[in-house]
Structure 1
Amino acid sequence: MYTEEFAAVALSRVSGIGPVVYRQLLRHFGSAEGALTAVARELSVVPGVSRELASRIGAAAPKREAEAILEFSVRHGVHILRAGSERYPATLRNFERAPAILYHRGNTDLSRRRTLAVVGTRRVSRTAGQQIERLLDPLAEYDPLIVSGLAYGIDTAAHRRALARGLPTLAVLGSGLQYVYPYANRKLAEDICRQGGGVLTEYPPWVKPEREHFPARNRIVAMMGEMTLVVESDVSGGSIITANMAHELGRKVGACPGRGGDRSTAGCNALIKQGKAFLIDGPEDIVRLLAWKPAAEGRKQLQLFLSLLPEERQVVDLLQEEASGSRIDELSTKLQWPPAKLASRLLSLEMQGIISALPGQRYRLSASGSFPGLP
């Protein structure tokens, strides 16, 4: 009767259904569609579902909201991410209280597990700006996703530095996608989406930024990061809230130390003193604590693949399908090329070290010419 996507969004718009109850319904009925179409008597046996809540699940209003959300999503290229689905962010899947539904614009690879959340004060000092560069630039070798909240100050600096270094970055909002906040960062949000990153929120598109939404935004940031790094902060504020949330969730927290008596770094010092954060003196501390291995080789291979001529890529694509190699006549038949053209492309690829010649007029990708993970 309903698509699973429609049913999931409709359930999420029912007052009283939070992340935990949503997951209880999915476990009991096996699907969001099963829960949405169940009668009140069936619903009321689910833990956390009262008779009053069961009656609201069958109401028309949540379905109307779901229709509006799906229409907006199709029109604006928004991805709807459902808890329990393959596209739901990998780093959130183990959290029972992670949002049931997320709305995502952009091309972020949300399945990657190498992530770093970066937070801090809105009144960023020159020193903190330099810290961002000093810490993030060397991490390009490890290709992490940089997560932050698009706020002024440290958030903005982290997003911008990630873009400058070719790192994917994700901006988490405390509003719907119609109301990117702060307004001055709307262009930054568009740049993030264009350059392989994205914007993420748990709020429907028409929800405006409100003070009470930002703790929920901070919680998503804390959940998304393998580590939450506090670059500069006083003893109170959103960044300290995010760091405490990450600590409570069992995530690692890092903090850049500052001079004693300096309010701009007092929060960082306090987190370290309380044993809630590791002291981060350089990028090597982040790499060591998260046990990251360099991703540079894979990135070099991808860059090499993208630099090939289109016809050379066709040959590489075919050789990737046959680990033991292919004969020249087999390649010629598949490609439908004349022998002289194929011989020219094979010679070019061999000179680049991408393929190796084998006895019997066979060729295969060389060890340095493999391209793992390419579609």
Structure 2
Amino acid sequence: MSLSSVVIVGAGQAGFQVAASLRQGGFSGHISLINNEPGLPYQRPPLSKAYLLGKIATSNLAFRPEAFFDQQQIELLQDDAITIDRQNRHVVLASGKSLQYDHLVLATGAHNRPLSVPGDDLQGVFGIKTLADADALAPRVKDARNVVVIGSGFIGLEFAAVAAALGASVHVVDLGDRPMARAVSSDMAAVFRQTHESWGVQFHFHQGVTRLIGENGQITAIETTDGKVLPAELLVYGIGVIPNITIANEAGLAIENGIKVDANLLTSDPHISAIGDVACFPCIQNEGEHTRIESVPNAMEQARTLASRLLGNAKPFDAVPWFWTDQGNLKLQIAGLSTGYDSTVRLGSEATQQFSVLCFRKGQLVAVESCNRPGDHLAGKKILSRPPELTSAEASAPGFDLKIWELAHRP
């Protein structure tokens, strides 16, 4: 397939990476990268932690300096894609400009699920998704004494750790029964809960929010579903995201928990691919079920796989999913998907906060969760990427070492 023009909608990690990988692979055609945020494309993970603490400057968030886009002849457009004309292969932008494409890449990402409770329009209520969100939040978190976090996923707990480190009284409210319930095993969640509590964070599980209470337009408290009133001059929510599918849906592309793609990341239109947080793909690690994964590594690997296909080297996307979160002095790295796990094996020492949880399903390894043990994480990724499979019986043997096992079983 000979291409002369590629249009990429979305300049987050996935969109930027596919543009960069195309040029790195020798693509000489025209590349348009559509960015619906001001400024240069930037990395988002530091926004909820290091950036709020002032440990990283705005200029250091950018993937590449402005000169990179000129040197690589990547047309960076500050605009928004509104309509796809599939028949004529054009994308119409908010500015009225129309871009012709031989191949279109949808890397539109996702947006925060809204809080949607009475009082959600009060001052002092924030989600964290964009640089603008973090810039508005940063000066407030430094002075806030009473902070409430809605949602105990990665974003919520990263922010809770920051607020606690800055001396605030922090309450975390969540409908689930433990921290990071959708992402990690109960074993790992228990340790993170205990550590957050040692920092002064108070958890309220099996609780929702009925309303936000304010005075003169500013939040002062929240009321939980059990009637408890928690003081809050600052509230941050992280209750999941919704994939940005509007443009794809209106163009008639197949939708299933995002934009549905095949193993080659192609949509139902052979001239359009989707990658990153918006793409729902057949995941080998989830028994082939269509799965949407929200992670920077997933976005980057999908972008590289897509660029390789557009350059003539097609292969199914089969990268092992992996994730990370930094919360205070805890660095959690996860390889694989623990969905449906039925047993675990622990390695290392929880007392020293250097340990791993190996998750098994039907006796076979499906995920490795490592807290402050990067060696186990790297070994876990390699083990999960190829046969033979590690069994729970082997991992339970006295003196078992994941890194040594991986080394001994390399092909």
Q: Same-fold call, TM > 0.5?
A: no
- The structure where helix makes up a greater share of residues is 1
Is the radius of gyration larger for structure 1 or structure 2? 1
Q: TM-score, normalized by length of structure 2?
A: 0.21
> Which protein has greater RCO, CA pairs closer than 8 Å, 6+ apart?
2
